[in-house]
Amino acid sequence: MEFDEAGWIKGQAPCNRYSAQQKAPYPWFEVGPTMATKMACPDLAAESAFFTALSAMTLSEVGNTTLILSNDAGRTMVFKSE
């Protein structure tokens, strides 16, 4: 996942590339409506679960090459740069 200077996030979901506006200041995390490409996807359930989880995240933590998103329910998403 990438964060740009204009307040947008961009990344790759299981099948499609996406972007959304990051609406809260760091370390808080709140995404606006997500836009994604419409590529054919063999696992639409995974794609849907990814976007559902992403929209539920409320806190971000950055360390070296890792981004950890989390929420009050104890859910996390971990992104590592390549």
| CATH number of the domain where residue 30 is located | 2.40.128.270
Judged against a pLDDT cut of 90, whether residue 82 lies above it is answered with no
Q: In this predicted structure, what is the pLDDT of residue 9? A: 96
Q: In this predicted structure, what is the pLDDT of residue 28? A: 96
How much is the pTM? 0.89
Residue 55 in tokens: 């929209």
CB 20 within 8 Å of CB 11: no
What is the tens place of the pLDDT at every residue in 21-41? 999 999 999 999 999 999 988
What is the tens place of the pLDDT at every residue in 45-76? 999 999 999 999 999 999 999 999 999 999 99
Range of the domain at 73: 2-80
Please count the other Cβ atoms lying within 10 Å of the Cβ belonging to residue 7. Answer: 13
Burial (CB < 10 A; 0-12, 13-18, 19+), residue 61, is middle
Residue 9 in tokens: 């996030």
CB 11 within 8 Å of CB 2: yes
Task: Tally the domains of the chain.
Answer: 1
Residue 49 in tokens: 């679960």
